[in-house]
Amino acid sequence: MVDNIAPKGLKVLFTIIPHGKKEVFMDLIESFDSNAQMCFYSKGTASNDLLNLLGLLNNQRDVIVSILREDKVGDCILAIEDKLNSFKHEKGISFASTSNTSSAVIK
């Protein structure tokens, strides 16, 4: 007999990626059984000098907010990091948090 054990807690995963890549990352996050996802367009206010210093091509980003089971967050963040590394000259960040903690930050 299998015990019905409640899943671990939920975390909010924030993924900030280059504009126009949201479908790729939303599909990737969905493969980790995301409970819900929302995507927002954002535009930073950094100057061109600062963008160049940080190695960013522009200040346009998509922000994906996802709800994931706590036990899937680590593997999901690693998959996001791998996907970000596959894009040349593109950078992003992903981190998870509950209402009072931060779980991880990546390139």
What would the pLDDT profile of 6-63 be if each residue is shown by its tens digit? 556 889 999 999 899 999 999 999 999 998 999 999 987 888 888 778 777 778 889 9
Identify any residues that bridge with 38 across adjacent strands, giving them in sequence order. 65
Summarised one tens digit per residue, pLDDT across range 50-102 is 877 877 777 888 999 999 999 999 999 999 999 999 988 778 899 999 855 55
The rounded Cα 75 to chain-centroid distance in angstroms is: 12
Question: With contact defined as beta carbons under 8 Å apart, do 10 and 102 qualify?
Answer: no
Phi, psi of 29 (to 5 degrees): -65, -40
Q: Residue 38, exposed/middle/buried by CB under 10 A (0-12, 13-18, 19+)?
A: exposed
